[in-house]
Structure formats: C-alpha cells, structure tokens
Structure 1
Amino acid sequence: MDPISLILTALVAGAAKTAGDVAQDAYKGLKGLIKRKFESQGKSDSATILDKYEQKPEKTKALLEDELTEVGADKDEEIIKLAQKLMEQLNPQEAAEGKFNVQISGGTVQGLTQQNTGTLNQDFRTSK
C-alpha cells in the first residue's frame, strides 16, 4: 500500500465509531500529528479538510490527498508508522498478511501490496 493510501485508510478506519479505545488513541494521535504537520508548513486551513474527510471521505479524498502530498506526509516516518500502528490495531489479520507494510529507508518510501502485479521489461540487445 502506498503511504498516502495508508494514511487515508487509517484516518477513515480510525474515525469509525466501531474503533476501540486503544485504536481511538492511535487515531487521535495520527490526526493530531497531521494537523501539526499542516500548521508547521503554514497550511492550517488544511486541518479543516482533514476534519471534513471524517464525515465525507468520498468527497474530500482527492483534496486531502493533494494536501498530504504537498506537506510531505507521505515521506514523514512518524506519520506513516502511526498510520501502520492504527491499521494493525484495527485489522490485525490483514496487517499480519503485510497489507499495510511501507518501507522507509534513506529518504525513500516504498509501498508493498499483494495487488501490485506490475511487469518490468528490459532489453539487453546491443547495437552495432
């Protein structure tokens, strides 16, 4: 799962009324961390979009996705780890299967998913 999708999924799942107390703590921590990220980059208006995402995720998803990307949330190790932790608490079975894995190393973020079935073709012919 790519980092932005993980963050968005965690926010929707955490906002659900069915999330338990422990998950609600992780959710509030994630949301607070994202709001502080917005504020630190002078985008306090984006916090409103984050709040609206809880009520109408389908209508505000693209806008929030853009805002998260713009502030670098998809490269913020703390935000990604907290989103992973929340999803592990809410969906332990899927977490055990690796659905929410995101690798961060040396400033590079890589998402892993079971649905990633891309093909890589290389041409090793030499020209004369």
Structure 2
Amino acid sequence: MTGLELILAALAAGVGGGITDATSTGIRDAYTGLRELLRPKLASHDGQAVEVLDAEETEPGVFEAQLREYLVGSGADRDDQILTSARQLLTLLDPSGERTAKYTVDAREAKGLQIGDHNTQTNTFS
C-alpha cells in the first residue's frame, strides 16, 4: 500500500468506521489527530485542500479524487508522522487485520485456489 493509499484508506475507514459518540476515545482521537496533521500540510500547498478535507466528512465518496491530488502535491503521502498516524488509525479500527489486507496473495497460475479462513477443499488431479 502506498502512502497515498494508506492515508485515503485511513480517512475513509475513519468515516466508515462511524466516528460517533459510541466510538472509542482512542479511535476518535486517532482520526482527529490524522486530520490535524494533514491540515497544515494541505493548507501550505493549496487553500482549497483543507476545504476538500473538511468536505470528506459530509461527502465521503466525492472527496477522494480531489484530495488525492492535494495529498501528493503537498508531500503528505511521504510524511512519516502522517503515515504513522494513518497506520495507527487503521490498526485501531481493525486490530486483527480481518478487514484490511490480511492476506497478500499472488494467484498467478494457481489451480484449486481458495482465499480466506476456515475453507475446506478436496482436489483430484489426474
């Protein structure tokens, strides 16, 4: 996962994870922390970028294309502190890794392949 993909996934998961009153304080704090790290970085690149970041909360499906350009242009996708914050948020939202990249699978030239947990398969090759 690239730095850009990591940040976008963390922001989307934060919104999709339901940052609400019922969400743990740690998750809310991690999500807010990521956004606060992004704010000055984006503002220094383009004043509209912060508006796009804020619009993400109300229109999660719309913001990604615009925000992608701003994240790359500002260097946020290469900022170690921002990337660490994004990883922390994703870990808090999915500690077991079940929803995000639990497996890395190269299925080229595979035969009789199953991906996932608790599968059973019987193969008979002749």
Q: Is the structural similarity TM-score above 0.5?
A: yes
CA-CA distance at 1:24 after TM superposition? 0.6
Deviations 1:63-118 (A, max 9, x none): 001110110111111000000001111100118x9839xxxxxxxxxxxx725x49
Higher strand share: 1
TM-score (norm 1): 0.70
- Count of residues paired in the alignment: 104
TM-score (norm 2): 0.71
Question: 3-state SS of the aligned residue for 1:45?
Answer: helix
Q: Look up the match of 1:64.
A: 67
1:78 aligns with 2:68: no
Which runs of at least 4 in structure 1 moved beyond 4 Å after TM superposition?
none
Identity, % of aligned positions: 32
Partners of 1:12 and 1:68 in 2: how far apart? 14
- Largest Rg, 1 or 2: 2
Partner of 2:101: 99
Structure that is richer in helix per residue: 1
Counterpart residue number, 1:46: 49
Shift in Å, 1:8: 1.0
Instruction: Name the CA distance, whole Å, in 2 between partners of 1:118 and 1:57.
Output: 32
8 Å contact kept, 2:44–2:74: no
User: What is the RMSD of the two structures over their aligned residues, measured on CA atoms?
Assistant: 2.5
> Which runs of 5 or more structure 1 residues have no equivalent in the other structure?
101-112, 120-128
**Where does residue 13 of structure 2 map in the other structure?**
13
